[in-house]
Structure 1
Amino acid sequence: MYLHRTTLTITATILASALLIGCGTKEKITPGQQQPIDEPTAAAIGSQAPAKPTLNMKVAVSGNQATITFLTTNIKLAPEHYSGLHIPGEGHIHLFVDGSVTRIGVKENTYRLQNLTKGKHTLEATLHTNNHQPYNVKDTTEFVVD
C-alpha cells in the first residue's frame, strides 16, 4: 500500500511538472500592447471581412458652446470597456481641438465644448479601439463662434 501511494505521488508530480514546463512562462500583456484586429484573416472569418468603421462630425454652435454629434457606422462606442481589452467593432473617439496635442476621450455620440473663444475653431476626431489603438479613421471639421 505504501509503495502504491508513493508511486501515485511521484507520477502525479511528474505529470504536473511536465504540464507546467510545456506551458512555458506566461507573458503579461497590457491593454496598450494588444493589437487591434481590424484586418481579419480569411481563416478567422471566412470570405466575409467586417466593414471598416466610419466617422462624421456635426457641430451645432450656441453662444460660446459647441455640441458635437458623432455619426458612426460599423462600430459601437463602448464606455464600459474604455481603456480595456480590444473587442473587435468596439471603441471610442479621440477628439483634438484647434490642433492641441491633448486629446479628449469621447465615449458617447455627443460631446459639448464650453467657454469657446470667438472665432474659427478646428476639430479632428479619430476612432480608436478600447485599448487606444487607431482604427485609422478620422474626420475633421471647422466651425465659427460669433
Structure 2
Amino acid sequence: MSLHKPKHNYTLAFTAALLSAALLTGCGPKEKITPTQQQPQDAPTAAALSDKAPATPTLNMKVDVSGTSATITFQTANFKLAPEHYSSMHIPGEGHIHLFVDGSVTRIGVKENTYVLNNLTKGKHSLEATLHTNNHQPYNVKDNVEFQIN
C-alpha cells in the first residue's frame, strides 16, 4: 500500500491560496477620497431638499364695516390661495379658506383675498377663518375676529 498523497490536494490548496490572495487584493486600484470629497451619510440630497414641507402658513383677517356690509381682507404668508385648484388634488402650500360667521357650522369657501358679507344685522358679529388644502383638509391654521354693525 502506498502512502502517496493524491495530486488533487495540492491543486486544491493552491486554488484556495490564489482565491484568498485575490479577495485580499480587492477588485482593482483603490480610489483616494479626501474628506472634502466624501459626503456624510446623512447629508440631504437635492431631491430630499425639494421634498421638504413648506414653511407653516399663517392667516390674518382684517374687517372693514360700511353700513350693514363687512369687507374681510385675508392676509396669508407661506400660503397661496388657488381658486384654479379648488376641490382638486393637494399641492403643498396652497388651497382656500373656510369662513364661519357667528358660530355657524355652515362654511363659506373663500378663494380670493377679499370677501364681502352683506345685509348683516345690527350688533356684534364673529368670524372664524381656517386654511385648507385644495382637497379641503385642514392646515390647522385659523384666525378669529369680532366686529360691530351699528
By the TM > 0.5 criterion, same fold?
A: yes
Q: Give the TM-score normalised by structure 2.
A: 0.66
Structure 2 gap ranges (5+) = 1-46
Larger relative contact order, structure 1 or 2 (CA cutoff 8 Å, min sep 6): 1
**Count of residues paired in the alignment:** 104
- Counterpart of 1:55? 59
- Counterpart of 1:99? 103
Larger Rg: 2
What SS does the corresponding residue of 1:132 show, helix, strand or coil?
coil
> Once structures 1 and 2 are overlaid, which stretch shifts more, 64-73 or 44-53?
44-53
What SS does the corresponding residue of 2:100 show, helix, strand or coil?
strand
Once the two structures are TM-superposed, the CA of residue 45 in structure 1 deviates from its matched residue by 2.9
Match of 1:114 among 118, 137, 144: 118
- Counterpart of 1:27? none
Give CA deviations for 1:4-57 in whole Å, capped at 9, x if unaligned.
Answer: xxxxxxxxxxxxxxxxxxxxxxxxxxxxxxxxxxxxxxx843796521000000
Aligned-residue identity in percent: 80
Q: Give the TM-score normalised by structure 1.
A: 0.68
| 1:69 and 2:73 are equivalent in the alignment | yes
- Whole-Å Cα distance in 2 between the matches of residues 137 and 118 of structure 1? 29
Structure 1 gap ranges (5+) = 1-42
Once the two structures are TM-superposed, the CA of residue 97 in structure 1 deviates from its matched residue by 0.1
**What does 1:36-51 correspond to in 2, within 5 Å?**
44-45=48-49, 49-51=53-55
